[in-house]
Homo-oligomer: A and B are copies of this chain.
Amino acid sequence: MRNTHGKLNFLGSAPHNTVANATYERLRHDIIFGKLKPGAKLKLETLKDEYAASVSTLRETLNRLTSEGFVSAAEQRGFFVSPVSAADLNEIANLRILLECYALEESLQNGDDDWEADVAGAYHKLSSTEAVIKNGNDADIETWKEYDWQFHLSLIRACNSTNLLGLHATLFGKYLRYQILVLTYRGEVARQEHKALFEAAIARDANAATKLLTQHIMNGLTHTLEYM
- Which residues of A pack against B, CB within 8 Å? 1-5, 17-18, 21, 56, 59-61, 63-64, 66-69, 71-76, 82, 88, 91-92, 94-95, 98-99, 102, 161-164, 166-167, 174
Contact = CB atoms under 8 A, between A and B. Distances in A.
A66 to B, nearest CB: 5
Contacts of A67: 5, 63-64, 67-68
Number of chain copies forming the complex: 2
Nearest to A171: B163
Contacts of A1: 72, 74
Contacts of A74: 1, 3-4
Contact of A95 (B68, B91, B164): B164
A141 to B, nearest CB: 25
A92 B163 contact: yes
B4 A94 contact: no
A145 to B, nearest CB: 21
Closest 4 CB pairs of A and B: A67-B67, A56-B56, A3-B72, A91-B161
Contact of A18 (B2, B21, B75, B166): B75
Contacts of A161: 91, 94-95
Contacts of A59: 56, 60
A213 B227 CA distance: 39
Given A5-B73, A163-B174, 4 more contacts: A3-B69, A3-B82, A5-B67, A67-B67
A66 B18 contact: no
A91 B163 contact: yes
Contacts of A92: 163
Nearest to A106: B94
Nearest to A75: B4
Contacts of A88: 162-163
Contact of A166 (B60, B69, B75, B102): B69
A75 B22 CA distance: 12
21 contacts: A1-B72, A1-B74, A2-B72, A3-B69, A3-B82, A4-B74, A4-B75, A5-B66, A56-B59, A63-B64, A64-B66, A67-B67, A67-B68, A69-B163, A69-B166, A88-B162, A91-B163, A94-B161, A95-B163, A95-B164, A98-B99
